Structure 1
């Protein structure tokens, strides 16, 4: 006799939830605040540092670690492993790359489709009514700016540099915030109240992004955020958020040119909104280029 009852998948064991409910009445108010935040934002916690949680809960990173340990975890890494297993999110960046490459190995057609599908999804998202409105709002803010700052680290640092060059070619003063450590602090020191900040950031509340965000808020700078993480702390403080998916699915590697599509829309949109400044800048570049390439432009070497 066979069992005709349909089999259902076993629900993951919620170790964190069990410990939270068992211990929450024993926690101090500050520890409870952190523990409750983690309980309510588990997916976001996987991409945050202890400092990021501290900023979100207006506590300290030491308080975050104490709260985690009060629930019986050895530390933050132990907590993330438990949450990852519960959510079924075990693949981080290196694993996403490996998964994608292994899946597409020896299949050129699959590789082509993966990249093209990722861009198609991004373009469809950018064409959605909410994003169209956000892009128009961003262009309106850029028109009012004296200068444009572009923040991006890691792979996004290259996009930030390229975008700043495009803005400058079209007659808009622009600069980048794309280093780390003391070099980034020197870049941040150049920020001014009349600037507009374009941020390329995801969910991770890394120190570079948080310090840049804090300085922008202190100066009253308007922030345009390009992101796939619509629930991040950056999204909470942005004046305009443009949602851009980075890949076809969360467990696959991101394709980094998708934000560039949006950045080029912003550059072109601003150029179209201020055609005189754009044409004057292009004419000046043309004249300088001709002077550099004109015969006899280089002085002959003196004997």
Structure 2
């Protein structure tokens, strides 16, 4: 195991260096610490134990056996490594090392990663938090969806779809000083949906401060930023984005956003359908070919 250890990041090296000294139950938890880093960061000892099929005492004991004073100390070391931000090229290189050069292998690898992400959305605790998020979003006068980089495209998509079902929404998908103009859109009591990841970017920091000034509740979608801002957000929806330090994958986040669209529409079905009918009418006005498709017939 020595050769492999030398090639791995510090946290994994530390775990693997002590691996052979652990009891079998502790080895299972140690492997969980390596393979499910986001879950380790975002869950309590009891929740980690439930996910790993063991006891919370075993989780804490394993952390200490690995040389950490506590589970919190282990989390701090893990978070410090995750926020080291390997370059996109390094992330891709690590991903390709696992998939190889065959397209079929890449397909199976990515499907497996998304299966894990979707499994996290099936947990009962996640469903309860999701319900609270929907209530926040539907009850606000306006919604604002933040994301930059790849998440910016998702923020634009979520904003478009929320507007289509009659929920006024703005996309906060700009970065740098261009974001300032969009922050002005946030009014008292609005809701803010953030897709962001460690490290804590200046844009996210300022957005959280401004949302607090406007008494606008914040919902965070993230796999690693939660511990840094937990006291500044109303809800956290932890969605894995693939293996740590590998290519970030957003399939789970897209599924979550589309679940939000359906859940929000269900909260006010008639208004959602009326808004979509109006969309069809406007399309028909702009292009007569659309008019042939008609709008929903009222009974």
| TM-score normalised to structure 2 length | 0.68
CA contact (8 A) 1:198 1:226 kept: yes
Corresponding residue to 1:245 among 240, 249, 258: 240
Higher Cα radius of gyration: 1
User: How many angstroms apart in 2 are the aligned matches of 1:110 and 1:234?
Assistant: 37
Aligned residue in 1 for 2:120: 125
CA contact (8 A) 2:226 2:236 kept: no
Structure 1 residue 283 corresponds to structure 2 residue 277? yes
Q: CA deviation at 1:117?
A: 1.1
Q: Give the secondary structure class of the aligned counterpart of 1:261.
A: helix
CA contact (8 A) 2:219 2:236 kept: yes
- State the aligned residue count: 223
Root mean square deviation, CA, Å: 2.6
Corresponding residue to 1:199 among 162, 187, 194: 194
User: How many angstroms apart in 2 are the aligned matches of 1:119 and 1:40?
Assistant: 24
Q: CA deviation at 1:161?
A: 0.3
Q: Give the secondary structure class of the aligned counterpart of 2:220.
A: strand
CA contact (8 A) 1:230 1:243 kept: no
CA contact (8 A) 1:143 1:270 kept: yes
For residues 110-147 of structure 1, the C-alpha deviation after alignment (integer angstroms, 9 at most, x for no partner) is: 11112111211111100101110111110111121111
Q: Give the secondary structure class of the aligned counterpart of 1:212.
A: helix
Counting only pairs closer than 5 Å after superposition, residues 217-236 of structure 1 correspond to structure 2 as 217-229=212-224, 231-236=226-231
User: How many angstroms apart in 1 are the aligned matches of 2:88 and 2:128?
Assistant: 32
Corresponding residue to 1:115 among 107, 110, 113: 110
Q: Which runs of 5+ in 2 are unaligned?
A: 1-14, 19-71, 292-299
Which protein is richer in helix relative to its size? 2
Corresponding residue to 2:287 among 284, 287, 293: 293
Q: CA deviation at 1:93?
A: 4.0
Q: CA deviation at 1:289?
A: 1.2
| TM-score normalised to structure 1 length | 0.68
Aligned residue in 2 for 1:41: 76
Q: CA deviation at 1:104?
A: 2.2
Aligned residue in 2 for 1:265: 259
Q: CA deviation at 1:211?
A: 0.4
Corresponding residue to 1:188 among 183, 191, 195: 183
Aligned residue in 1 for 2:210: 215
Corresponding residue to 2:174 among 163, 169, 179: 179
Q: Which runs of 5+ in 1 are unaligned?
A: 1-7, 12-36, 49-79, 81-89, 298-303
Aligned residue in 2 for 1:77: none
Q: CA deviation at 1:288?
A: 1.1
Q: CA deviation at 1:94?
A: 2.8
